Copies of this chain bind each other. A is one copy, B any other.
Amino acid sequence: MRVALGQFNATVGDLTGNAEKMRNMYSQALQSDVDLLAFPELAVCGYPPEDLLYKKHFLHDSRSALEKLAADCPDTTIIVGFAESHQGSTYNSAAVLQNGRVAQIYRKAMLPNFSVFDEQRYFQPGTEPVVINLKDVTIALTICFDISNIEWLSKFLKDIGQVQMVLNISASPFHLGKIEKREELISQCAKEFNCAVSYCNLVGGQDELVFDGRSMFANSTGKLIAKAKAFDEDLLIADIIPGGSLKPALSEVEGRSLGMATPQDAVRVQVKPMRPAAPQPADILDEVYQALVLGTRDYAWKNSFKKVLLGVSGGIDSSVTAAIAVAALGADNVICLTMPSKFNSPETINDAQKLARNLGVKLMTVPIEPVLNQFHETLKTVPGWDNKGIAYENLQARIRGSILMSLSNQFGALVLTTGNKSEISVGYATLYGDTAGGFAVIKDVPKTMVYKLAEHINEVAGRKIIPADVIARPPSAELKPDQKDTDSLPDYDLLDKIVKGYVEEDKSPQQLIESGLPHDVVNNVIRMVDRNEYKRRQSPPGVRITPRAFGKDRRLPITNRYTTCTDKA
């Protein structure tokens, strides 16, 4: 039996566009005589549709789009995810399309409701397994999280008899370390049921999420046989070949026995891919880089922006953001703006120019000094105003934000912000200043990784796109004379360790201190993280690359008096 995995880039709500993409892949798949073509979870409407699912007309239109797809694609069996309204409930379902109509429906049983997922907000769980038979291959249908708990899945499928393949259609977003977990699950699933697994994942950016694709097949020993492209559309085709011996699944004879299939066992169900494996990201940095590029491109394009605009300071964050923007949208579509004040050194201004030349992008210069002076003239009539403190520093950032937004309005270009995760964690940013913009490209990238990304970008390009000085110079916001980030913040190595422990792993200050991190710094950083929730709440979305970003996966109250700090301050 020949299976094609239609890994395509869906857009939420674009019922017509998504169907069009699926029809194109269908035509392509027919040329390879496939028996089964799978599309991702909720492929009809895109993932996650969020509260669109509360609209009856949305569910109705989704159903119509599904039925039209069935009618348009009668010549093979298609499995496709859609949001199903059925007897007053909504389900996250997989439709089996055959002979021009919806032949059968499987309803997702395990609904994730943690991290970025809110599926129990919308869906009722399905309760019945669905098995289909194609060319004498029996196939159990599953959706994404259904295979996350193999023990549960074994019970769920125990009455359906033995299958030769588990098909999983998925919309599994990327974060660092996710692919390893996903491969482990798929492999476990194959071994548990002693069958092949076909896994079709979504690809593309959707607000803060990036779906990384990498659809794959595993044979019945759990070996991963073929993998589709990462961060790109792909149609991955393989033959599923059940062997002669229909020996029972391990679990049926000995209970749950993961990993007990030994290499010398005959392979019960083989997988023969139609072409060599797609190249995969070289390492973690390559993975992150590709995620950022795709996330940025899709946010711009799917929101109908061709061009982006960003401020470049000659610092590392804006340099890396600019390089990613160019990779995402092309140099012609990236406009850089440098907005110097008296606090900007000639070196950083020079580096901004060098960067723009290296990237081949337009650089405009709009000095902020005259506006800043006029603001000061105006504000000094207010008792208590002065041009020494934080307010004056923030004002500079807000003037820059206003200039960027003014030109964005004028030119219809999306403003990219350039803040990294480390500064966003501790609120080392000016609200409506450097946080002003539509998309925050590196908001989930810790500063220490921003440096590594800069080097990765230079390495891949084979030249110093990001000038060496930008990487070497100690970071500064350049909002007052001789300012350094380290005046206000600990070294980024240390800061990033605390942020990871506190934000991503929910560790207490006590645990962090016990792990060897310095007491005072831990307490100070955590206080800053807690106090700056209000800033993050008003900041733009950006690509999630870690297991916990500042987005839908971290929901903390602004009004929050809980403190775990172990000192009295």
Contact = CB atoms under 8 A, between A and B. Distances in A.
Interface of A: 11-15, 17, 45, 48-52, 54-58, 61, 113-114, 118, 120-121, 205-207, 298-299, 302-303, 364, 366-368, 370-371, 373-375, 377-379, 381-382, 384-386, 389-392, 394-395, 398-399, 401-403, 405-407, 409-411, 431-432, 436, 438, 506, 508, 510-511, 534, 537-541, 554-564
Given A401-B432, A402-B432, A406-B379, A562 B52 contact: yes
A510 B436 CA distance: 36
Contacts of A302: 559, 561
Contact of A399 (B402, B407, B534): B402
Contacts of A375: 371, 402-403, 406
Nearest to A407: B382
Contacts of A55: 506, 508, 564
B381 A370 contact: no
Nearest to A337: B382
A356 to B, nearest CB: 16
B390 A409 contact: yes
Contacts of A390: 409
Contact of A48 (B15, B394, B539, B557): B557
A12 B303 contact: no
Contact of A555 (B51, B114, B368, B382): B51
Contacts of A205: 559
Which of A12, A206, A367 has its CB near the most chain B CB atoms (within 10 A)? A12
27 contacts: A11-B561, A12-B557, A13-B563, A50-B556, A52-B557, A57-B511, A61-B562, A113-B121, A114-B121, A118-B118, A299-B559, A302-B559, A303-B534, A303-B558, A364-B382, A370-B377, A370-B378, A373-B374, A382-B407, A382-B410, A385-B410, A398-B398, A398-B406, A398-B432, A402-B402, A405-B432, A538-B539
A555 B431 CA distance: 23
How often does this chain occur in the complex, in copies? 2
Contacts of A555: 50-51, 118
Contacts of A406: 375, 379, 385, 391-392, 394-395, 398
Given A56-B506, A57-B564, A378-B366, A559 B51 contact: no
A366 B384 contact: no
A12 B405 contact: no
Nearest to A411: B384
A506 B403 contact: no
B562 A541 contact: no
Which 5 pairs across A and B sit closest by C-beta, in order of nearness? A13-B562, A391-B409, A14-B561, A57-B508, A374-B374
A399 B401 CA distance: 11
Most central of A367, A402, A407, A559 by chain B CB within 10 Å: A559
Nearest to A559: B302
A58 to B, nearest CB: 6
A222 to B, nearest CB: 28
Contact of A557 (B49, B114, B364, B538): B49
Given A118-B121, A370-B378, A371-B378, 12 more contacts: A12-B557, A50-B557, A52-B562, A54-B506, A56-B508, A118-B555, A303-B534, A370-B377, A374-B374, A379-B407, A386-B410, A398-B401
Contact of A541 (B206, B384, B558): B558
Given A118-B555, A398-B405, A554-B51, A562 B382 contact: no
Nearest to A205: B559
A402 B395 CA distance: 7
Contact of A438 (B58, B386, B534): B534
A114 B123 CA distance: 11
A488 B541 CA distance: 28
A1 B315 CA distance: 70
A120 B407 CA distance: 44
Given A410-B389, A534-B438, A555-B118, A561 B378 contact: no
Given A370-B378, A436-B432, A537-B541, A557 B403 contact: no
A54 B375 CA distance: 45
Nearest to A60: B508
